[in-house]
A and B are shown apart, each in its own frame.
Chain A
Amino acid sequence: MTTATLPDTDPPKRGWYKRNEIAVTPWLFLAPAILFFAVYVIIPIFQSFSISLYDWDGLGQAEYIGLANYQELMNDRAFEVSLWNNLKWLVCYLLAIPAGLFIALFLNQTVTGIRIYKSLFFFPFVLSQVVVGLVFAWFYLPNEGLLSAIVGWFGFGPVNVLGDPSWATYGIILAGLWPQTAYCMILYLTGLNAVDPEQVEAARLDGAKGWKMLWYVIIPQLKPATFIAFVVTIIGALRSFDLISIMTNGGPFGQTRVLSFYMFEKALSEYGFRMGYGAAIAVVLFLIMLVFIAYFLWSMYREEQGGR
C-alpha cells in the first residue's frame, strides 16, 4: 500500500482522512460505480445460478428441484437446435473480420471524396439491429422482396430465405454480418493508418508485394485491431437476439432459435413463465461466454504486465 511516508513532523494535528487520503480516495471515487455494477450485474449473475436450481413461475413460491432443469435440457430438442445455431453464428460471424479487412484495403486510398465513402460504408453499424432486421426481412420477402426480384431477372423462381428452415439462420446471420463487417472495417482502417510506412517501403525494396506483403508485413502490424475485432465479433455472435426476434421470432418451426432467444422465450413469452428453466439456459450461455471472457482477460493481463 502506498500511504504517505513523510517524516512525522505534525502527526497529531492532521485528521484521519488527511493522513489516509491517498489510500481512501480511490475507494470513494469507485464507490458509486461499484455499487451500481454490483447490484445490477455482479449479484444477478450469482442469483441466476441459484434460480436455475428452482422451479419458479416468477410470481408464486419457488420450489427447489436441484439439477432437474439441467437434466431436462439434456433431452430438449429445441435446446440442441439452439446450441447448434449458436455455433453457426460463432463461425459465420467471424467472416466479418476478413470481410472488414477486405473493404478496409479497398478504401485505404486518398482519392477525392474517400472520407465520405468511408463514413457511408460504416453507416450500417450506427443503425439499430431492429432496423437492420426489418430492412433485411423486407429484402428477403418471398414474392415482393428485392432478393426475389433480383434472382427473378436471372430466371430463377422466387426464394423464401426466412421461411426455409435450413436457410433462415444463414439469412439472419448475413443481416448481422452487415453492421459487424462495417465495424471491423473501421477498426482496420484505423490500424492501416498506423502501419509503419518505412517497413512497407523496406519490404517493397526486398521484392515483397500483394499477398505476401499483406500476410507477412501488414497483418502482423494489425494485430491490436484484429484482437478487438475478434472480441467484439465473438460477443456480438453470442448476444444475437434482436435480429432473430425481429426477423423470424425463432421460426420457422423454431429452427432459428439461439440460446439467448430460447431463454427469453422460456422465461418471458407466451410459452410460459419458466424462470428456473430460462435461468438454466442462460447459465449454459454464460459458461460458453466465460471461456472467451477468460481468454480476453488473460490477454489483457499479459499486456498490462508488459506495458507498465
Chain B
Amino acid sequence: MTDDLETLRAALKSAPAPEYDAKTRALRLAMQNFDRLHDASQGSAEPDLAGDDPPQGAVASNGVRRMLGFLTLRPVLAVTTSTAALVIGVAVILPMADLRLPGGSGPVTHQAPEPALATDTPTAKTAAAPDGLTGEADSRGQIAATKAEPMAEALAAPLAATDTVDVVPPPAPTVNAPGGLSPLRMAAPGGSADGTAGDIAAAESIVAPLPDMAQPGLPDTEAHANVAPNPVKVTVEDSVSTFPIDVDTASWALIRSSLNRGKMPAPDRVRIEEMVNYFPYAYSAPTPEATFSTTVSVMPTPWNPGTRLVTIGIQGALPAMTDRPPLNLVFLIDTSGSMGGPDRLRLLTGSLALMLPVLRPEDQLAIVAYAGSAGLVLPPTAATDSAAILAALDNLAAGGATAGGAGLELAYQVAEGMKAEGEISRILLATDGDFNMGTSDPDGIEALVAKRRETGTYMSVLGFGRGNLDDAKMQALAQNGNGRASHIETLSEARKALADQLTGALFPIADDVKIEVEWNPAKVAEYRLIGYESRALRRENFNNDRVDAGQIGAGTQVTAIYEVTAPGPDSLLNNPLRYGPAAEIGASTEELGFLRLRWKAPGAETSTLIETPITGLEEATEETRFAAAIAGFGQLLQGSAHLGNWGWDQAIDLAARNRGDDPFGYRAEALKLMRLAQSLAAN
C-alpha cells in the first residue's frame, strides 16, 4: 500500500513541462496586466484598494524601471515576437473576473477596478455586436468563456501588436515590430509625468484593432489557393463559360474567423463561390425522375445599373434517407503534436461523437491515426457500437511528428477491405494542415487520392485550427478525392460539416458534374463569372468525360453568379473587335444564353445532359438577391474594382432585406460579419 502511494507520488512528480509558447504567453500577459495596473493607479487619483499598501516610490523611477524591465525580459520577448504564436489570450482573460479568491481565506478580496484588462476587448464588442441576435451572441459568449474553445487563440492575435507597445520602447532593436507601432504611440493623448502615457490609450485602442498592423513581421504560414479574379470576357470572343461545381465552404470559415479576431481577411483568402455556397437556398427540388433541378434568375446588378446578374442555382435530389446505401467511413486522423490544441483533436473527437447517432447499424467506421507512425486505432466497426468507437477516440492523443504518407496508405487499405457491392466508401482526413505526407512531391499525394477516387473511395478533408493550415493543399486533396474541404473551428461548425451534411457530403448522387453556359452575343456583349477562380475548367473538357470535375452529394446545391452586360456602348469594359466575327444570331435571339448541365451517375462511365435556356425573364427571389449580396460582400473584401461606389451600406441593406427564412441563423451571422467588416474597413 505504501507502494501505491509511491506510485502516485512518482506519477504526480512527472508533471509535463509547460510548452514554451504557453509560458511566454502567460508571462507576457502577466507583464501587460502589471503595467496596466500600475500605470492606471498612477495616472488616476483614484484610491487604491482599501487597506492595501499603496504603491510607493514607483512613480519617479518608473520610466527607468520599465526600461530595465524590458532589458530583463528581452530574451523572452525576442523569442516571442519571432514565433508565429504571438498571442495574448483575449478570451482567456475573460474568466479572470472569476478568479478572485473566495471569502477571507484568500489574500485578495477586491478585484482592482481600474485596469482595463479584458472587459473592453474586441471580443466583447463583437460578441455583443449589432443586431438583436441574442441567441447567436449568447452562444458566442459561451464559446468565449469556455477556454477550451478555439476562438481564444484566433481572437487574440491582433492584440499582440498592441501589447508590444507596453513593453517595447521604440528603439528596441530586437523586436521586429517597430514601424507599425508608432500610430498607437501617436494616438496617446497628452502625456503624464513619467512619459509613459501611451499605455492606457493603447489599451483602449485595442477596441478598434488596426488591421494593417496586426501580427507585425510574422510570417503567415497559411497558404491559400486563389488566383486572380475571373476577368470580364467578351462574348463574341469566348461565348462559353464552364466550370465544375463542387462546393467547399472553407473560405467562409476563414473569413469569419479573421473578422472575428478583428482583422480584415487577406483578399487572396476570399473565395466568393465558397462564400455564396456556404448558405442554403430554397431552390425548387428536382422532379422524382430527375437528379437535378436548375433555377435561373436574372436581375439588375446591385452594384452596376448597366449590367445584369444571372444567378444559376442547381439543386441535387435528396433520395429518401431510408434508401441510402451503407457508408464505410475511414477517419484518417492527424495526431501530430500540433493537433494538441483545444481547437483540434479534442474538437475532432467531440464532433465525431456527435456524428455517431446519425449513422445506421449497417454503416461501418474505422479510425487510422498517424503521427510518428501510422496505426489502425479502430478496425472496421459497426456504427452502432458506440462504446468501442468512443473508447478508440479516447485513445487518441496528440504527440510526435507527422508522417501522413503511411497513414494515407493504411487508410486506403482499410477502406478497400470494407468495400462491398452498393456501399459508399469515404476517407475523412482530419488534420490541422501540418501534414507531411511522406511523398515530398505534392502531386504525388493528390495523384494517389485521384487514383483511389477511380476505384470508388472518396476523400474529404476536415481542417482544424489555424496558423499552419495549408489551405491550398486541403483544397487540392478534397478536389482530387471528390470530396469537400471544411474548416472546423467550433462544435457547431463541426456539426454542420459532419452531421447536418452527412448525406450531402458522404452520399454521392452524381459524379463529375459540370455546367456550361453559352451566352448569346446578341444579348450579352460581356460577362464575368464571379468567383470559381481556383476551379475553372477549360471548355474543351466539358464534353470529355474523363476529366474529373466535382461530385455532388445528395441534396447538395450550388450557386453560380454571372454579371452580364448587354450590347451597347455604355457599360462595356472591352472595346469591340473591329474585325471580330459577326455575332451569329440564331432562332432564339431573345435568349440571354443557354445552360447545359452534365453529370454521371455514381460509378457510371458516360454522362447525362440537361439543357435550360436562359430567357432573361426569370425573376429574382429573396434567395438569389441574398446570394448577390454575399457575392458583393466577397468583392468588397477583395477590394474589387467592379463595384464602383457600391459599398458596405448597400451590401448590408441588400442582405438584410433578403434574409428570408433563416432557420439556422446562417444569414443573420453573415449580416453580423458584414457589419463587423464594415467597421473594420472604416479604420
Partners in one complex: no
Interface on B for A, CB 8 Å cutoff? none
Interface residues of A (CB under 8 A from B): none
